[in-house]
Structure 1
Amino acid sequence: MSSNQIKVELTSAKKQKPDFANLPFGKIFTDHMFVMDYTEGKGWHDARIVPYQPLTLDPAAIVFHYGQTVFEGMKAYLTKENEVLLFRPDQNMKRLNRSNTRICIPQIDEEFALTALKQLVAVDRDWVPNVEGTSLYIRPFIIATEPYLGVAASKNYQFIIIMSPVGNYYAEGINPVKIAVEQQYVRAVKGGTGNAKTAGNYAASLAAQEVAEKSGYSQVLWLDGKENKYIEEVGSMNIFFKINGEVVTPELNGSILEGITRDSVIHLVKHWGLPIVEKRISINEIYKAYQDGLLEEAFGTGTAAVISPVGELYWNDEKLVINGGKIGEVSQKLYNTITGIQRGTVPDPFGWNVKVEDEEIILAI
């Protein structure tokens, strides 16, 4: 499929824009959405941009009963020159297809999906907020739509992209958050769906998150599902530590999501000449580093918050205060650099940004 095969139906009733200086996260949605259907034997077809609207699905649709769905999260940013930039969107499409493979969903054409996404952003360009710390959050997702109560992969799907102008994911912003080490629940196990971005992983995390929040913690630090001692992720983010001058992050093992911000951090740290290692690391190692005065920083990485410094870990009834509860030098530099690249205010040595051209609005109606 090509961009001129995307039909565009513009809304006749545009929504009132919110106050971009006071945006919540993920509660306000733009005027339009992208939709494309899949039918077994026909493939992906009927690509279209339409007014944002509710979906009509059969109650027996497989997505409701067996959770056959995947999604992505990415952002568009407005530069001082009034250009709209996407950050490494090709990597999101690659990861979407990796998730598709794990959940038995047909592959999408990554190049076409990116073209459709750029066209949707161009159509709703005036929804990209222009206030510091804000962005246009983009949520591509695929759902199984065949009405069938047998346990099997669906024969019909919809690929949808919706968008939402957002402020900071955490109310604390770039300020350090408090994290509780989770010892009862697990997020995922090797061989499961931990390295796929699928809804079930997030549903499984909610109980632990609720317990943590009631105790005054923003999120939980997940340990492995087999031995309950090796660190995996923090909340829905990848996790990094700086120990005695070396940056350390858990190695990808099949149960950890391959974060695009994670990969960006690794590239930047290597680019700066700092020592960095991906390895299996236990909570006991972190505790020992803390006791020895060598645990210098900890931070989560992800699309929503970019960099989220960890100021305190709660483990075995002990509070481990990291760097005096303040943001560390590497965390701050990473945040400034990545957000600067995303907004076009600092050099982009890796060619990560993709510009959305106004000409990409193609009205095939």
Structure 2
Amino acid sequence: MGDITWLTNTTFNGYEQSFIIAGPDGKTAFPATIEDILRLNTLCISQSIIFGTQVGITGLLFVILMLMTKRDKRQSAVFLLNAGSLLMIFIRNVLACLSLNSIFYNFYNWELAYYPVGPELKHAQDVNAAAEVLGIIINTLIFSSLVLQIRIVCCTLTHTAKIGITVVSVIVALAALTIRFALAVLNIEYNIFGIGTSTIQQFQLLTHMAKANNIITVAAIAFFSAIFVVKLAFAIHLRRKLNMKQFGPMQIIFVMGCQTMFVPLIFAVISYYTAVGIQINSLVPTVVAIFLPLSGMWASAQTANEKLVRADSRFHRALPIGATDLSNAKAYGSTKTSDTADTLVDDDDDLPYHGTASRSKTTARSEDTPREMDMARDAEMGYLRNGVVVDRTYSVRSD
């Protein structure tokens, strides 16, 4: 076969050639084209890639989230909402992958719009209807998490401003959820249980509703992210005024908040201009559900690595000597505490003088006489002999 040389006919399109398939009665001839086969093939491949990608990334992130989150943090409402949304997205996309092997994607049934009542049709309808219901639950979990996090971020505002932002956020979330619920109802009625009997007008209504849901969902996510990012931007600006310029948890959440606002918008714009049924719009809530817990884990890891907020050495001041009983080993600031990452008192020689009783070799100045230095050491040794430990550590915990 490889030795055959074909002569090209520029007036002939091989993909448009038709072939005849018999109808369910075994007699009626029905014309089909190769282009129809390729269209269904492209639809199945694109959907399997999109659904499979979401299954892999949400499943992996859910496992990581469960392993990386501390036990006491797993009871928080934000964690439950974020983990629940990941789990629901995972289940929904598994069901969507299963539906690709159903009667809905069989070329013979798809080409003839012939879906006989039977176990295969009922199974396909149940799987797709369950996936649609899970879509509503996913959006509910995501918007609930956004509303809750907006309320947490705005807790430092005035009572009136906090209530106003919360009310507006709830209204925006309810508007997006209402459109999503209406889309799910129409899709279940016309496209799942009414497959093969839906009219052109119903299909057009379903298409317009899907585009409206796409727009309102992205607008709502952008609204929440904008409030979140603006509030954090002011907080970061204030931190810079306080000479706290390290790349910390607030900057991390700020970056992820910007991504939560712009990345779903990219997928929404792409899905708006792509062919119907490609399901790129399903990536919009998935991206948001991924970024929400991911930003929290990144920020927590950064916080764990930076246990101490340390200023410049020129701002250091000598701290009075504290008495810590080592028998308890629980005093905050004791050298035995595991939370002490560093000390605010270093070995600088420019520390001020606070009396001979509290001086050591690190706090003595060069102009002190040898007699004064000996008196300071004798006084300190006296404290040690009486069972008192000189403690100069003072940790500032970031958690």
For the aligned pair, the TM-score class normalised by the smaller chain equals under 0.3
Q: TM-score, normalised by structure 2?
A: 0.22
Q: TM-score, normalised by structure 1?
A: 0.23
**Structure exhibiting the larger radius of gyration computed from Cα positions:** 2
Q: Select the structure that is richer in helix.
A: 2
